[in-house]
Structure 1
Amino acid sequence: MNFKKHIPNSLTLLNLFAGLCALIHAFNGNYAEAFSLVCLGIFFDYWDGFLARILDVKSELGLQLDSLADMVTSGVVPGLIVYKMLADIQENQSQYSLTEETYYMGVVPYIGFLITLGSCYRLANFNIDTRQTDSFIGLPTPANALMICSLPIILEQTGGESFVFDYLSNPYVLVGIAFISTFLLNAEIPLFSLKLKSFAWGPNKLQYSFLLVSLALLVALEFAAIPLIIVAYVLTSLLFKPSTSHL
């Protein structure tokens, strides 16, 4: 039996397991733990593809498993987190209302699951879009998940004393984020991939440079850097315009 072919799929299943654990923590309001588990799942997601290429064991099964695992870790978890953030506002505050009737009937929090629906559509489209082998069209679900999952942690860290707290505790802003996130996931915007085919500097200088800048931002700003990094990722891609014509 060729055990090599099972190594990447095992990592993919670990990604799924991390996502399931993140769901439990997100549902219980343990956002830091949920974020850590999403990061762990994304770590497994990165290395399953890398090992599949290195070991030359890429398969259709692996492709489908990868999308199914990502759907939970990078699709369901961020949708649930925005749902929970909106539901918490509904429970704790009364100064905002998208309309008294709809918001307090509990309808508005479900808008958070637009992110899950957008992630599902993106992942299905990714599997059949031949342009996305070396770069991406639209924001990848792991990047979107990191951005969304960082929001409640930023909210907790800022307390009630900053404009950031005022924005992230406003349901209008959170609903807007849900719509923007869903749009970016499926927008026809070419974005460079952070998945390396080798460790050489030459073909990966953009990726390495971006990672170094991101690391510096994380050290300086901690969780608040994550949305900035995702915005920088989109803007950098627009500036350098990765080609998809050959894909």
Structure 2
Amino acid sequence: MKKHIPNFITLLNVFCGCVATIFAVMNRLEIAAIFVALGIFFDFFDGLAARVLNVKSELGLQLDSLADMITSGLVPGIVMFQLLAMSQTDGWGDGSHFFMEEGQLKLMHLLPIFGFIVTMASGYRLAKFNIDENQTSSFIGLPTPANALLILSLPLILLYQNNDIINGIILNQWFLIVLTLLSAYLLNCSLPLFALKFKNTSFKDNAMRYIFIIISIVLIVTMHYMAIPVIILFYVVSSFVQDKF
């Protein structure tokens, strides 16, 4: 019985990803973000449950990546689609302007499709992860959940931070295009990134992890949703420094 517990938790990630997809398509991006966060929560604890119960399996590995493909691959692509669509208009719509106008698909409205590069890059990254035996205690390239949090933070910043300058940057189509390409690169680059997996409680063995967690908490308390992209940047930079020195 216990061998099915981690897989059930993974299926809860699938469920959250499906619900998030619906809300992302409806352009209710703040609700989509909630379900993506829940999915990532289940994604973390399915692995923890498998380790605690000692029931790791090939099925669990494949199922985990399939779940991540929905929650941390498809949903961020739809969110980027919606943000790019919003960058072409003056307001927060439902995305319906993309599809038809007087019976014709407008060329200028094809830009939002570019956002699905995030989904494509996520799928490629997850496929590589499944066959890579070197990503057990660390990652090669940005994990898809971290990338999903980065992209899902943008609509939350728009809705709740209320900063005209930042909003203008986020809804700039060139910023979104560059971020999409940067996201695709970070997902599949060869940069080693540390994982938040503690084999023991020793500060000496986990100094970077403890420092990262403490700084992340301080940033969230002081910067709220704006902290998320800063934390992801700090994660990448600190992993690079740790790898080089």
TM-score by length of 2: 0.89
How many residues align? The count is 232
Matching residue within 112, 115, 121 for 2:115: 112
Alignment-mate amino acid for residue 218 of structure 2: A
**What whole-Å deviation, never above 9, does each CA across 1:110-161 have from its counterpart, x for those lacking one?**
11000000000000000111211110000000000000000011122344x5
Once the two structures are TM-superposed, the CA of residue 103 in structure 1 deviates from its matched residue by 7.6
Residue of structure 2 in register with 1:80 after alignment: 78
Q: Counterpart in 2 of 1:146? A: 149
Maintained 8 Å contact 2:161/2:225 = no
RMSD, aligned α-carbons: 1.9
2:55 counterpart SS class? coil
> What do the CA deviations read for 1:70-100 (whole angstroms, capped 9, x no partner)?
000000011100101111222337xxxxxxx
User: Structure 2, unaligned stretches of length 5 or more?
Assistant: 92-104
Q: Paired residue for 2:97? A: none
Question: Are residues 242 and 37 of structure 1, via their aligned partners in 2, closer, same or farther at CA, if it must alter by over 3 Å?
Answer: farther
Change in 2 beyond 3 A, CA 1:118/1:87: same
Q: 1:132 aligns to what?
A: 135
Equivalent residues of 1:191, 1:237 under 8 A apart: yes
Q: Unpaired runs of 5+ in structure 1?
A: 94-101
Cα distance in structure 2, aligned partners of 1:89 and 1:162:
14
Share of identical aligned residues, percent? 48
| 1:222 matched to 2:220 | no
Summarize the alignment of residues 198-213 of structure 1 with structure 2, pairs less than 5 Å apart. 198-199=200-201, 201-213=203-215
- Pairwise CA distance, 1:27: 1.5
Structure 1 range deviating more: 55-64 or 80-89: 80-89
Q: Using the alignment, how far apart are the partners of 1:39 and 1:108 within structure 2?
A: 27
Give the residue type in structure 2 aligned to 1:64. Answer: Q
Distance in 1, matches of 2:201 and 2:41, equals: 17
CA contact (8 A) 2:86 2:171 kept: no
CA–CA distance in structure 2, aligned partners of residues 77 and 110 of structure 1 = 13
Superposition deviation, residue 208 in structure 1: 2.2
Aligned to 2:64: 66
Indicate conservation of the 8 Å contact 1:191/1:242, yes or no.
no
Against the structure 1 CA distance between its residues 61 and 141, is the aligned structure 2 distance closer, same or farther, given a 3 Å change threshold? same
Question: Which residue is 2:25 aligned to?
Answer: 27
Cα distance in 2 between the residues matched to 1:165 and 1:223: 13
Amino acid in the other structure paired with 1:233: Y
Q: CA deviation at 1:28?
A: 1.6
- Counterpart of 1:147 in structure 2: which amino acid? L
Task: Report the AA paired with residue 26 of structure 2.
Answer: N
TM norm structure 1 = 0.89
Structure-2 change in CA distance of 1:220 and 1:103 (3 Å):
farther
Partner Cα separation in structure 2 for residue 199 and residue 25 of structure 1: 39
Q: Residue type of the partner of 1:195?
A: K
8 Å CA contact retained: 1:90, 1:104: no
For the residue of structure 2 that corresponds to 1:151, the secondary structure is helix
SS in 2 for 1:136: strand
1:206 is displaced (CA, Å) by 1.9
Q: Which residue of 1 aligns with 2:99?
A: none
Does residue 46 of the first structure (1) align with residue 44 of the second (2)?
yes
